[in-house]
Amino acid sequence: MFCPKCGDAMTATRDGTTLECVRGNMELSVAMRAGLVEIFVERRRSAKRVGHRFGGEWFCPGCGGPMIVDDGVQCPRCSEHLDELVYQLVELHPHRVRRRLLVVEERFEIAGRGLVLMPGVPAGEATRSELSVELLRPDGTTAVVRAHVEITFAVPLPKERWATVRLEGVTKADLPIGTELWLDEG
């Protein structure tokens, strides 16, 4: 089964009682899992239509593809609806939102200040100057580190302004090229 909020394949929880989306850190309630399996995996019944306009972005638990969201939430391939379960998914199933900030192409050691990364990020995305980011290295290992986002000033001002990302307490050996920086957004 696929996560209705991001489309990733879901996996059994450690105790085996239900399923979870690892990316979203979201565990399905036992009732939610049963409902989704009945409708999208076993195809034993269809979801009740609720009859109002829906919003948001949804993925089909049966095939993982994006669903069509209007006066229902429907998979164009399986043609099943999610409608009756949307409310519970919104209210009782928070899904962590993560965004990939950048992929490291080069890094420079600055004495006493950590590593400055290439590329930077567009200045418009630099909403906070200090962030907690997760490193995902090419070998699959992870680490959480502090990042400083610093807008660099240049004269004349370039059309598109970039911010520099600097990591504290990290050495080049900790940060192979190709490492991804991920940011939690909720």
Q: Which residues sit at the interface with Zn ion, rule CB under 5 A?
A: 3, 5-6, 8, 21, 24, 60, 62-63, 75, 77-78
Cα–Cα distance measured from residue 59 to residue 69, given in angstroms and rounded to the nearest whole number: 10
C-alpha dihedral sign at 161, 181, 185, 166: negative
Q: Which is nearer to Zn ion, 9 or 118 (CB)?
A: 9
Picking from 139, 141, 138, 146, the residue whose alpha carbon sits closest to that of residue 183 is 146
CA angle 64, 65, 68 (to 5 degrees): 130
Q: 107: how many CB neighbours lie within 10 A of its CB?
A: 22
Min separation Cβ 156 and Zn ion, Å:
44
Min separation Cβ 89 and Zn ion, Å:
11
Min separation Cβ 93 and Zn ion, Å:
9
Cα–Cα distance measured from residue 124 to residue 140, given in angstroms and rounded to the nearest whole number: 29
Q: Which is nearer to Zn ion, 23 or 107 (CB)?
A: 23
Q: Which is nearer to Zn ion, 64 or 114 (CB)?
A: 64
Q: Which is nearer to Zn ion, 24 or 120 (CB)?
A: 24
Instruction: Kindly report whether the peptide bond that precedes residue 138 is cis, defined as omega within 30 degrees of 0.
Output: no
CB 170 within 8 A of CB 104: no
Min separation Cβ 136 and Zn ion, Å:
16
Q: Which is nearer to Zn ion, 66 or 176 (CB)?
A: 66
Min separation Cβ 24 and Zn ion, Å:
3
